Amino acid sequence: MADLGRAALVTAFLLLVYALVAGSLAAWQKRRRLAESAQNALLAAFGATLIASAVLLAALARHDFSFQYVADHTSHELPLGYTLTAFWGGQEGSLLLWLLVLTGYSVAAVLTGRRAGREVLAWVVPTLGLVGTFFAMLLVFVASPFATQAAAADGAGLNPSLQNPYMAIHPPMLYLGYVGLTVPFAFAMGALLARRTDERWIVATRRWTLAAWAFLGVGQLLGAHWAYVEIGWGGFYAWDPVENAALMPWLAATAFLHSVMIQEKRGMLKVWNVLLVVLAFCLSIFGTFLTRSGIIQSIHSFTQSSIGPWFLGFICLITAASLALIFVRLPLLRSKTRLESLVSREATFLYNNLLLVALALTILWGVVYPILSQAVTGEAATVSKPYYNFFLHTFGLPLLLLMGIGPLVAWRRASLRALGRTFLWPLGAAVIAGIALLAAGAGSSRIGVVAYTFSVFVLASIALEFARGTAARKALGGVGWGGAFSSLVARNRRRYGGYVVHASVVLLAIGVTGASAYQTVHEARLKPGQSMSVAGDRLVFRGYETKTESNHRAIRALVDVYRGNDYLGRYKPGKNQYFAEDQVSNEVSIRHDWLTGGDLFLIADQVNANGSIDLKALQKPLVNLLWLAGIVFIGGSLIALWPDAREARRLAERYADGVVRI
């Protein structure tokens, strides 16, 4: 079996090398038959990788401990579900998943990417081949998932913190996002190599970028939720390098999604767009490198291994090659139009891009700071939360504001008087909200008030956009409000899907602000019968209950929660002591208040021998909007992604003659 897996990987490697070499030759010499053969090799590489993955999955399912990978990451007691998800629980399996997703995406991208033009596609194949070759090479020569050993009696098992339903979905989501950014990168490089620098590569990869970006966003929110309900320190994001590793490419991709619209509409920012797509792709490889190399201290330390230098070399190669290519093609990337006014839709997009990229780069600086300071002063230093929070406020708040301004500003040139009229309602709503917030005592956090006022402004401007659009469509006649609304969204999926995503970002901002700026924390040592209060709730500790399960002993503190004279219920934060792993895990108890969106978060910080408890209680207002934001985000992304027959026809007409009109 292991031989079959190894053979499949070697085959995939050779096919990808062929796709790279033959594909380059074919595109160079414009040999059509050879280009088709390279393309077929890319498709076949997906098949070979699929076989390799099936072998590993089968070995996991059969508990075949003669596979080193299976023995290292699973055990007999491990439930089947987690045994299968151990596919991506370790390094070799994760790399195999990378290659599987990459070749899968390649097949779909090549088959659907004809709109980019044959010359571009001919160069896309070797670019995808190059990235694939790198990962296949690692899997064949450096970190094989099919290494064998004398079969062990039992495996080492999976870390208890990974035995969690989120384990099944969070890593694959992130991978779908990370790897997905390869597709727009390959098409951008293809367009440059083929000297086809019009916006066709952008149109061809628009959905790919959007999908990869949506997966990356959802993957991160799932990770945050996992941390919140399972890890149990009361937060959801800690600016850890591994978390930042996923955030940076997402920010770069967000900037890219916005700036490509300007290139499509106005033919500007061509150099900027290719730079952004290179940045997003390099950051996604860098993220994989961070999580896989152990070069930077992180609370998530994955298997440290020898693949670090390979990744570093690959990142350098990709960055140098793509920058050189962009430089050589600069004359072809001249804009046909110029920015006409600093107050226009284009300009707000440009500001948004600069802020997003600035945020991504300052985070990158923070992540690599230990390495740089080590190199310069010989002593590693780290930057922590205050650094990141400072830049999140400096760049994030203006971004939030721009989200409300951008959609209301006209293309090309907006008159200030028209702007005043447009902004009357959102601005009024924001001012009223600001005053109301101050009156309600939200002034305890200045940043909180600013964030909430901006949020109201953005939500009002989004509502205004929907209302104006619906009214205009209804004025065309023949439909009611409902019909007008649905046809408005259906006819402009990208625009209104985008607004829904904006609304989700606002919800996210409200949730994050509530949970951080307005959080109340209280800690106390309580004997049975004693009580403490946190933000108006009274918590009475009643004692412990202990239960013994098959693999752990569960100790639970019984905490009764009262608000005024109302009894709100009994909550049971505690600890589990796992016998086999000899490990303790915190089991938090969360009271969701569905009406206000806040949480009461209870942690049994220390269970004392004399029967007392060190109880930590966090009151987190509005934090549930964060998770609601995730659902709205998925909804908005789906609206924007949904295939649009009308748009497809329009594009087909536009590019039918192969001449691009801008």
110 neighbors 95 (Cβ within 8 angstroms): no
Binding site residues, other proteins, CB under 8 A:
72, 154, 156-159, 161, 233, 268-269, 294, 297-304, 338-339, 341-342, 347, 350-351, 354, 358, 362, 369-370, 373, 379-384, 386-387, 390-391, 394, 523, 525, 575, 580-581, 583-586, 603, 605-606, 608, 614, 616
- With residue 20 as reference, give the H or E element that holds it: helix 2-29
In angstroms, what is the minimal distance from the CB of 318 to other proteins?
A: 24
Best CA proximity match to 298, nearest among 378, 247, 238: 238
548 vs 606, beta carbon nearer other proteins? 606
Best CA proximity match to 253, nearest among 371, 160, 360: 360
160 CB contacts (<8 Å, ≥6 apart)?
578, 581, 583, 585
Distance between start and end Cα atoms, the chain:
56
23 CB contacts (<8 Å, ≥6 apart)?
35, 38, 39, 41, 42, 122, 123, 125, 126, 129
119 vs 581, beta carbon nearer other proteins? 581
In angstroms, what is the minimal distance from the CB of 440 to other proteins?
A: 30
* Residue 128 to residue 121: CA distance in whole angstroms: 10
114 neighbors 655 (Cβ within 8 angstroms): no
In angstroms, what is the minimal distance from the CB of 575 to other proteins?
A: 8
In angstroms, what is the minimal distance from the CB of 231 to other proteins?
A: 9
In angstroms, what is the minimal distance from the CB of 40 to other proteins?
A: 40
- Phi and psi torsions of 480, nearest 5°: -85, -175
In angstroms, what is the minimal distance from the CB of 282 to other proteins?
A: 19
95 CB contacts (<8 Å, ≥6 apart)?
135, 138, 139, 143, 145, 292, 307
350 vs 639, beta carbon nearer other proteins? 350
* Residue 647 to residue 55: CA distance in whole angstroms: 42
Helix-helix angle 2-29:118-137, to 10 degrees: 150
19 vs 350, beta carbon nearer other proteins? 350
- With residue 559 as reference, give the H or E element that holds it: strand 552-563
In angstroms, what is the minimal distance from the CB of 170 to other proteins?
A: 15
548 vs 608, beta carbon nearer other proteins? 608
Residue 294 tokens, joined = 């152990």
In angstroms, what is the minimal distance from the CB of 611 to other proteins?
A: 14
In angstroms, what is the minimal distance from the CB of 635 to other proteins?
A: 33
Residue type at 601? F
27 vs 603, beta carbon nearer other proteins? 603
269 vs 509, beta carbon nearer other proteins? 269
Residue 591 tokens, joined = 């009271």
- Phi and psi torsions of 660, nearest 5°: -100, 125
Strands (E), 142-278: none
126 vs 366, beta carbon nearer other proteins? 366
In angstroms, what is the minimal distance from the CB of 589 to other proteins?
A: 16
In angstroms, what is the minimal distance from the CB of 129 to other proteins?
A: 33
56 neighbors 87 (Cβ within 8 angstroms): yes
CA distances from 87 to 7, 11, 147, 404, 621 (A): 19, 21, 14, 43, 38
Residue 233 tokens, joined = 């320190």
DSSP 65-134: TTBHHHHHH--TTS-HHHHHHGGGTSHHHHHHHHHHHHHHHHHHHHHHGGGG-HHHHHHHHHHHHHHHHH
In angstroms, what is the minimal distance from the CB of 616 to other proteins?
A: 7
Place of tokens 């964030």: 451
CA angle, 498 then 503 then 504, to 5° = 95
153 vs 440, beta carbon nearer other proteins? 153
In angstroms, what is the minimal distance from the CB of 57 to other proteins?
A: 21
Residue 537 tokens, joined = 């709730």
